[in-house]
Structures are given as C-alpha cells and as structure tokens.
Amino acid sequence: MTPSIKKLITMGLLMAPLGAFAQTSALTEAGIDSGRLKGSQSGDVISFKGIPFAAPPVGENRWRAPQRVKPWRGVREATAYGADCMQKPIASDAAPLGAEPSEDCLYLNVWRPAEDKATRKAALPVVVWIYGGGYVNGGASPSVYDGSAFARDGVVFVSFNYRIGRFGFFAHPALTAAKEGPLGNYGYMDQIAALQWVKRNIRQFGGDPNNVTVMGESAGGGSVLNITTTPLTRGLFNRAIVMSGGGRSLTGELHEISRDLPGNPSAETIGKNFARSVGVEGTDPQALKALRALPANRVLGDLNMMTMGSNASTYVGGPVLDGRIVVGTPEQVYSARQENKVPMIIGSTSADLGFNTARTMDELFAPFGDEASRARQLYDPQNTGDVQAVGAAVAMDRMMTEPARFVANKISQNDRQAFLYRFSYVADSLRSETNGAQHASEIPYFFKTLEARYGEEVTDKDQAMANEAHAIFVNFIKTGNPNGTNVARWLPFNRDSNLVMDFTPEEGAVLKSDPWKERLDLIEATQHAKP
C-alpha cells in the first residue's frame, strides 16, 4: 500500500479495499494485436476510446487503403476519443462532434460490461456502429452515439471513424497509374478494416467475433447495405441493421473509376477537376506528390452537407463503382441475389429525408405519368396544393421508404428474415412543432441516449419509447430475432402480409399492415424499374 493511498483511506476519502483497485485495473486493461490498452470505468460500463485500427492516413497514406498500425510499447491510454475525420461541421447537425476533426482519424472505441471476463460463461454479442453524415460529415464521438446502454444490456459496442469527403472517396489518373492498391472508396476500405479489427481483437473485450451485427444510419445505413453487397466482407458479420439508408441507390447514379459516360463523368475526371481547382495539373507522379502535399484544409475546401451540390464537379458525392468494394447498387445486387445472406432490420422515419425540386404540383406528379391523378389522390387527398409538404412526402418515399421495403422484400424472397420498421415517434417537447419523426431522430431512442439529445426535456413517455426500441434492437443483436419479453411481437416482412413495425407516439411499438402500401406500390411501379 502506497503512502498516498494510506492517507486517503485514513481521511475517509477512499473506502474501496485494495483488492478492488487491482480488480478495476485488470478490468480496464486489454491487450490487442498492436499493444496494451488502458480504458476507463463508469459505473457498470468500461470503455476504451481512441484505439488506432490503422496507421494515420496522412502524407504517403493519403488515398491509400488502410495501413497496418505500428505496434506500441507499454500501455496506451484509451480514455478519450481520437480525432473525428477531416470535415467542415454544420451547425444544424443532430449529432454534433465531440472531438476536433483531423486527417489523422482512424480510431475506434469499445464499450463493454464491467464484469470479469474470466467469470463469464460465454462471449458477448457485438454490434458495430457506422455513423451517417452524407459521406461528408459525421464521426464516432457525438454523445448521442455513446455505447453504454448496449454494454449494460450485455452487448459489446464498437464505433469507429472512416474517411469522408475527398479524403474518403476520390480518384485521379495519377493514383491509378501508381498501382498502390484498391482505388476510390477509401472510406469503405476503412469500414472493412474496422470489421477485420473486430474479428481479430474483440475477444480481448469479451466479445464474440462470430456474433457480430453491423448497424448504421443514413450514409451509415447505406454503408451497411454496401457491406452486405461486397464479397470482401463475408465472414465478418452475422446480421445487419439499416436505419434510413435507402435500399436502391442512396447517392444516386454511381460514378465509375475511369470510364466517362454520357451525363455521368468518371471519378477520375471529377478528381482532375478538383486537382485543377487547387493548381495541380498533369497525371504523372509529380501531380500525385503535389496532391498529397496539399494541406488538409485545401483538400476539404468548403465541402459539407450544405454545400455538396455546389461541389458536384470536384467531389464524387460518396462511393464509386470500383467493381471490387462497390460491385453495384444495393438494388442491382439484391435483385441478382448476390448479397451476403444475413437477417436484417431495415426501416426509416415517418418524415424522413428526400430531395424535391418541383416548383408546382404538375411538375411534382409528372414522373408518375399516366398515374399522376392517382398519385395526387394518395399524396394530397385534401387537395392542399402544398408543393413543399406534398413534395417532401413523395421525395421521402422515393429515397427512403420504398427502397427499405424493396430490400426487406428481396430478403424475404430469399428464405431469410427481414424486419421492416417505421419510426413515427416524436419527442414530447417537439410534438407541437413537427408533424412527423425527422431524419436521424430515432437514434437516441435505439441507443437509449435521450438526455444527450433532449436534455431535461425528456419525459417519461419518451423514456418508455426508448426502453422498448432499445430492447428490440438488443434482442436482434443477440439472437437475430427482435422478439422477447416485454416488447411488441414483430413478425418478419413478406409482401403478402405487408407488415411494418411502427414506433408510434400514441401506442408505442405496433405491428400493423402498412397504411402507406398503395403509395409505395405506386412509387415502385412508376419511379423504379422493376428487376
């Protein structure tokens, strides 16, 4: 016993026996393939933050596949988030960053129950979280993404950063000529590297590498869909959760790496446009050297979710069709039944994201062709003529609601289980201000992090919804089945029954025949080519 500890005990400021210090120290340390870590304990949860899962993607590693971490000696502190990836944050973000952005950002975080692994009978299920942000914003550090509630319920929770914007999705002829490895989708390469890290290391945190769920929202949900469609991730996960990730092609038509198509330039062409904009000409090794020497802020520019449209000529907008990591859109791969065959929860919110550019009702309904009158009846039954509100519903169904149903239907046709949901619950404090659940509003309920989003305005009703929504996700993460005691029964989706689990403000979670079936059928028939 050290003099300082003796003094604290004598003063009555430290009551725990010495054995507890040894136990806590043992619980908060872990050895992984790159070195030892020391995390921190808060109540019944232990977390390890800021763990490097790849070398810093800077200098010669900019626009390269993730490189191996250099092992360290001694014990590395893992008590604070690493930097989020380079970006220009937006003030309206529902999940504001908790760490400063930097190009050196490939870090992950682990939460697990504070119990001795040696006394546990079996390894714990694992969930791996992928954040959204339109492939230009987002990070693992927002407090709304804290994994403590999952850990308390017996799940090892992992979150990580992946490169976004031009750092994550970029091509240029000089990169192609350098032949340094896979091209274009560096952000997706980071996601795969994080899953590989989990496969190698998660046992050291009490997790089961053979019971892994991958979960994401928005661009993170789109990422999960891609993870289920690339052969490179087979064996790395066992089930999937897609929250507002679309299901056909979230980012629209994909750019190929090198081939220019009418109205769809290649990723290399867009990369050359960017290079010219920062004064770099040519496609030789000197051009690549100059691009890698650019300060990170010059690569970033003003790119974020608010400025993506104005950057369309110099940024590819997200994933590109490389034929290796991105082999097609989810629509194409699921239609061909070539996806990784795992059970899935998939859904969207009741006032989800969509982009409407129509200025008149006639312009809005023109894409429905001969069914324009029927579309008006379904989307504007009161004949309001409100092109903004009605257009938002049409755009949401086209981008989010119908594509989620499409994926659920394809999975069910392939003798697997898909559970389709709609999150309609609106926080009590916002109910007078909004007519539906906005994009990303479901996250603090499924994560059980309401206070991080709503603070003291959380009501008992809000918390009850979070308790049930979170429990349903935990059940699925553990077993692949969302059902259990004290939660609403959820049957798998099939086209005949057309059942959707609706998380409602009036009745809680309710399994029902989808009341939007007719309008989604119309979207499917008129807006999307039938496979």
C-beta separation of 349 from 244 below 8 A: yes
Please report the pLDDT score of residue 117 as a whole number.
57
- CA-based nearest residue to 188, from 136, 227, 145, 132: 227
pLDDT tens, per residue, the chain with 531 residues:
444 434 433 333 334 343 443 455 678 999 999 999 999 999 999 999 999 999 999 999 999 999 999 999 999 999 999 999 999 999 888 899 999 999 999 999 999 999 765 556 789 999 999 999 999 999 999 999 999 999 999 999 999 999 999 999 999 999 999 999 999 999 999 999 999 999 999 999 999 999 999 999 999 999 999 999 999 999 999 999 999 999 999 988 999 999 999 999 999 999 999 999 999 999 999 999 999 999 999 999 999 999 999 999 999 999 999 999 999 999 999 999 999 999 999 999 999 999 999 999 999 999 999 999 999 999 999 999 999 999 999 999 999 999 999 999 999 998 899 999 999 999 999 998 988 999 999 999 999 999 999 999 999 999 999 999 999 999 999 999 999 988 999 999 999 999 999 999 999 999 999 999 999 999 999 987 544
Residue 135: half-sphere exposure toward Cβ, Cα within 13 Å? 27
C-beta separation of 223 from 130 below 8 A: yes
Please report the pLDDT score of residue 6 as a whole number.
40
CA distance 499 to 508: 16
> What's the angle, vertex CA 98, arms to CA 96 and CA 99, rounded to 5?
125
- CA-based nearest residue to 217, from 392, 421, 418, 463: 421
Please report the pLDDT score of residue 120 as a whole number.
66
C-beta separation of 95 from 42 below 8 A: no
Contacts of 304 (CB under 8 A, 6+ apart): 87, 88, 89, 90, 136, 137
Phi first, then psi, for residue 292 (nearest 5°) are -75, -20
Same CATH fold, 349-454+463-531 and 37-342?
yes
Please give the class, per CATH, of domain 349-454+463-531: alpha beta
Helices (DSSP H) in 417-503: which residue ranges? 443-446, 450-454, 460-479
Q: How far is CA 141 from CA 29, 130, 144, in A?
A: 21, 12, 9
CA distance 454 to 374: 40
- CA-based nearest residue to 411, from 237, 217, 240: 240
Question: Which tokens sit at 245?
Answer: 């990730």
Q: How far is CA 374 from CA 366, 393, 474, 518, 527, in A?
A: 12, 15, 41, 10, 14
- CA-based nearest residue to 292, from 425, 123, 103: 103
Which residue matches tokens 């944050």? 89
What is the separation, in whole angstroms, between the first and last Cα of the chain?
72
Q: How many CB atoms lie within 10 A of CB 495?
A: 11
Please report the pLDDT score of residue 212 as a whole number.
98
- CA-based nearest residue to 37, from 99, 104, 85, 82: 82
CA distance 178 to 397: 43
| Domain spans of the chain, in order of start | 37-342, 349-454+463-531
Amino acid at 274: F
Query: If one looks up domain 37-342 in CATH, what number appears?
Result: 3.40.50.1820
Q: 364-383 burial string, b = 16+ CB within 10 Å, else e? A: bbeebeeebeebbebbbeee
Amino acid at 113: P
CA distance 400 to 247: 7
* Full DSSP string of 248-260: S-TTSSPPBSS--
Question: Which tokens sit at 450?
Answer: 């309401």
